[in-house]
Amino acid sequence: MKRLFCFLALMVVVILVGCGKPDFSDAEKKTIASLALSRLPPLKPDTTNRFADVPAAAALGSTLFFDLGMSRDGTVSCSTCHKIDRQFQDDLPQAVGVGHTNRRTMPLAGVARDPWFFWDGRRDSLWAQALTPLENPLEQAGNRAAYAHYIKARFGERYERIFGPLPDFSGMPLNASPLGNDAEKAAWNAMSGAQRDAINGVFANIGKAIAAFERSIEPAPTRFDRFALDLATGAEPKGDAVFSKEEILGLKLFIGKANCVTCHDGPRFTDNSFHNTGVPPVADLPPDRGRIDAVHQVEADPFNCFGAYRDGDAGACGELRFMVKDASQLIRAYKTPSLRGAATRPPYMHAGQFSSLDEVVAHYAKAAPSIEGVSEVHPLELSDRERAALVAFLKTLAE
C-alpha cells in the first residue's frame, strides 16, 4: 500500500517536472537557433553604392536625414516619419508628411539587408528608396533640381569632399523634375540631356549618402535572443532569458501549428518576399494592389540597378534581373515585415489596418479571403489561450 502511494507520488513528480521545462524537439531547437540574432550574417557590401561604407558619406546622410530643408516647405525630413526614438517609424496607421500618405511608415532596423524597398518593393536599392519620398508630393514634395541647388548652397564643401566636384548649375532651372508639377516637368523637358544627367547625378548621391547612414541602423538583441542562445548552448537561462510557460507555448505555435515561421523566418523574421495574406483595404484610401503595380514602377525607375547611376557592375542586379513581373500571386501582395520590435509599434499591416497584435493573430487564424487575388493563408483553429500565447511570444522580440 505504502509502495503504491510512493509510486503514484513519483509519477506525479515526473509529470510535473516534465511540464515545467522547455521541451523542444531537435527540429524545433534547430528552427529556434535559426531565428537568433547571433545568426544574422555580416552586412554585405553594397557594390551599387561605392559610398555605402564611407563614414563621411554616412555623416552627410545623417545630416540630410534630419534636415527639414529637405522638403518643399521646410517642414518635413526623413525623420518626420522615421522617428529616431520610435524605432524609426511614427506610430500612425498611415504616414503624414506634407500630405497624408496611403501606407504605414516602415521601421528601419536592418533595412540595408532588404532586397526590395517599400511595402510593395517599388525600389530595388536603399539609395534609390531614399530618393523617392523626396519627390513624392505627399511626403517631402520637393524636386530634384531644387535639391541639387540646396546641396550646393548648404553642403557644397562637404559634398565635394565625398563625391567630387559639383556640376556647374549656371543656367539650370531652380525647380525641375520629371515627376513634379506641370511647371517643373516643363522645366525638366527644356533642359539638355547633359544638364538632366548632372542633376540626376547629384540627386543619386543624396540617396547614396542617406543610405550610407541608414546602413548603421541594425536590430538589437532581445529577450528571445538570450533565450535562444541559452537553448542552443544548453546553458541554464537566467534573469529575463527565462521564458514563461505561455511564452514557450507561443514560440512552439509560432514555429509549429500556427505556421508563422513560414514567412517570418531567419534572424530578421522575414523572408524578404511579398504575399497576399488577405489584409483588407482601408475604406477611404485610393485602391492599392500592392506588388503587382510596383514591378512596373521599379522597372521604369532611372535610379534602379540597371540605370546609369549605379556604381559597380550589373552582377549586383540579380533581384531586378530575375524579378517576377506578371503573376496573379503579386496582386495585393505586400512585403513580409520583420517582427523584431513589432510588439511596441502598433498599428499593423501596410496601411495600419489592425490596432493590436491580438487583431493581427485573429486575422491570420480566421484567414478571410482576399478582396482581390488569392490569400496564401489557411484558416487555423487557435484557442483563446493559444492566441494569447502567440502574442506573449511576439513581445519577447521587443523586450
Partner 1 sequence: MASLWRYLLAGLGLAALLVGILAVVYLTAPRSAQPAGPDVSRTKKTDNGLYMASFVPERGVVRQGELESWLLTLKTKTGASVERAAIAISGGMPQHNHGLPTSPQVTDYLGEGRYRIEGLKFTMSGWWQLRFAISSGAGSDTVLFNVVL
Interface ranges with partner 1 (CB under 8 A): 1, 4, 7-8, 10-11, 14-15, 18, 25-27, 261-263, 265-266, 271-275, 318-319, 321-325, 327, 329, 374-376
Q: How far is the CB of 31 from partner 1 (least distance, A)?
A: 8
Residue among 265 and 311 whose Cβ is closer to partner 1: 265
Q: Measured between alpha carbons, how far is 112 from 96 in angstroms, rounded to an integer?
A: 23
Q: How far is the CB of 308 from partner 1 (least distance, A)?
A: 23
Contact of 260 with 377, CB cutoff 8 Å: no
Residue that is written with C-alpha cell 527644356 in the block: 190
Residue (of 93, 100, 177) closest to 134 by Cα position: 177
Which three three-digit cell numbers place residue 102?
A: 496611403
Q: How far is the CB of 15 from partner 1 (least distance, A)?
A: 5
Q: How far is the CB of 280 from partner 1 (least distance, A)?
A: 18
Three-state SS for 243-307 is CCHHHHHHHHHHHCCCCHHHCCCCCCCCCCCEECCCCCCCCCCCCCCEHHHHHHHHHHCCCCCCC
Residue among 8 and 174 whose Cβ is closer to partner 1: 8
Q: How far is the CB of 362 from partner 1 (least distance, A)?
A: 21
Residue among 144 and 310 whose Cβ is closer to partner 1: 310
Q: How far is the CB of 247 from partner 1 (least distance, A)?
A: 21
Q: How far is the CB of 218 from partner 1 (least distance, A)?
A: 18
Strand, helix or coil at 114?
A: coil
Q: How far is the CB of 145 from partner 1 (least distance, A)?
A: 36
Q: Measured between alpha carbons, how far is 399 from 227 in angstroms, rounded to an integer?
A: 12
Q: How far is the CB of 321 from partner 1 (least distance, A)?
A: 7
Q: Measured between alpha carbons, how far is 262 from 269 in angstroms, rounded to an integer?
A: 10
Residue among 238 and 378 whose Cβ is closer to partner 1: 378
Residue among 79 and 273 whose Cβ is closer to partner 1: 273
Contact of 320 with 124, CB cutoff 8 Å: yes
Strand, helix or coil at 96?
A: strand
| Terminal Cα distance for the chain, rounded | 51
Which three three-digit cell numbers place residue 145?
A: 533640381
Q: How far is the CB of 30 from partner 1 (least distance, A)?
A: 10
Residue among 31 and 102 whose Cβ is closer to partner 1: 31
| Amino acid letter for position 58 | A
Residue among 75 and 262 whose Cβ is closer to partner 1: 262
Residue among 168 and 322 whose Cβ is closer to partner 1: 322
Residue among 63 and 297 whose Cβ is closer to partner 1: 297
Which three three-digit cell numbers place residue 353?
A: 489596418
Residue (of 81, 80, 19, 49) closest to 307 by Cα position: 49
Residue among 165 and 322 whose Cβ is closer to partner 1: 322
Q: Measured between alpha carbons, how far is 243 from 231 in angstroms, rounded to an integer?
A: 11
Q: Measured between alpha carbons, how far is 394 from 26 in angstroms, rounded to an integer?
A: 22
CB atoms within 10 A of CB 3: 7
Question: Alpha helices of 92-143 — where are they, by DSSP H?
Answer: 126-135
Residue 296 dihedral angles phi and psi, to the nearest 5°: -70, -35
